[in-house]
Amino acid sequence: MSRIDGRKNDAIRPVKITRDFTKNADGSVLIEMGETKVICTAAIEDRVPHFLKNSGKGWITAEYGMLPGSTQTRKVRESSRGKVDGRTQEIQRLIGRALRSIVDLGAVGERTIWIDCDVIQADGGTRTASITGAFVALVDAFYKLKEKGQIEKLPIKSMVSAISVGIVEGEHMLDLCYQEDSNAKVDMNIIMTDKKQFVEVQGTGEEAPYSYEDLMEMLRLGEIGNQELIRHQKEALGTIADEIGL
Ligand code: UDP
């Protein structure tokens, strides 16, 4: 079976990472994965949630949203409904966990980094694009803190990126677009570090339970995709990546 956009099953969509996309946040990135586009910002606040007061440690938290015009059918603004739906909660927690896993929170000091991921165009893989883009925004925010002399070195232990994989019409595929995602029997999100370690794997075979062999094949594809994303992140960060030893 050939894919809609002619990609090989183990190929990711064209990736573009634009830094300094907007000017007010400490880090601001537009990430494009094919037709999926997400703005990821990182803003630093000099206080921490209650449970971390006087601990000397920092915190990273994330919010995620889809603009009404980002989806094929208009997405009602969550603010106008007065509550955040389950999918949004799951995604923002996932983004927060992914980024906290690679940061030395003890070295951040009592600061909170607010990550905001806003989907301006959705075509599958918005949570994974959010994580990949947010990592770059986070590095930029920490770098600013370092330039101001507020931290000595960037409190980053590894790089992190994320990609989706799935089984569509019996074939294992990397980086699903919306049409593939909506036909997928198995849908998985794989979050990994540059050292090829797993941070989180979300894999649902609700429609069709999958085998051990399927799982191994999807993990293999996920590693290929994430390694490529890490290359794009490094390229986008340019000299900063070298300077901080990424
Ligand atoms: N989608 C949509 N409206 C929604 C949720 C999802 O149009 O309320 C589309 C969108 O293109 C999204 C895709 O369905 O990227 C897959 O959604 P999923 O919940 O699997 O999350 P994602 O793959 O974006 O992380």
- Mean pLDDT to the nearest integer, 37-41: 98
Count CA atoms closer than 13 A to 164's CA, side-chain side.
25
**Quick one: pLDDT at residue 25?**
97
pLDDT digits (tens, 9 = 90+) for 81-137: 888 999 999 999 999 999 999 999 999 999 999 999 999 999 999 999 999 999 999
Question: DSSP label at 26?
Answer: S
Residue 141 and residue 143: Cα distance in Å, rounded?
A: 5
34 in ligand 1 pocket by Cβ < 6 Å?
no
For residue 187, with 0-12 CB atoms within 10 Å meaning exposed, 13-18 middle and 19 or more buried, which class applies? buried
Identify which of 21, 31, 242 has the alpha carbon closest to the alpha carbon of residue 135: 31
145 in ligand 1 pocket by Cβ < 6 Å?
no
Residue 153 and residue 79: Cα distance in Å, rounded?
A: 38
Distance of CA 64 to the CA centre of its chain: 10
ipTM field:
0.97
**Quick one: pLDDT at residue 206?**
83
122 in ligand 1 pocket by Cβ < 6 Å?
yes
Residue 244 has pLDDT above 80, yes or no: no
pLDDT digits (tens, 9 = 90+) for 202-240: 999 888 899 999 999 999 999 999 999 999 999 999 998
- At residue 1 the predicted structure's pLDDT band, cuts being 50, 70 and 90, is low
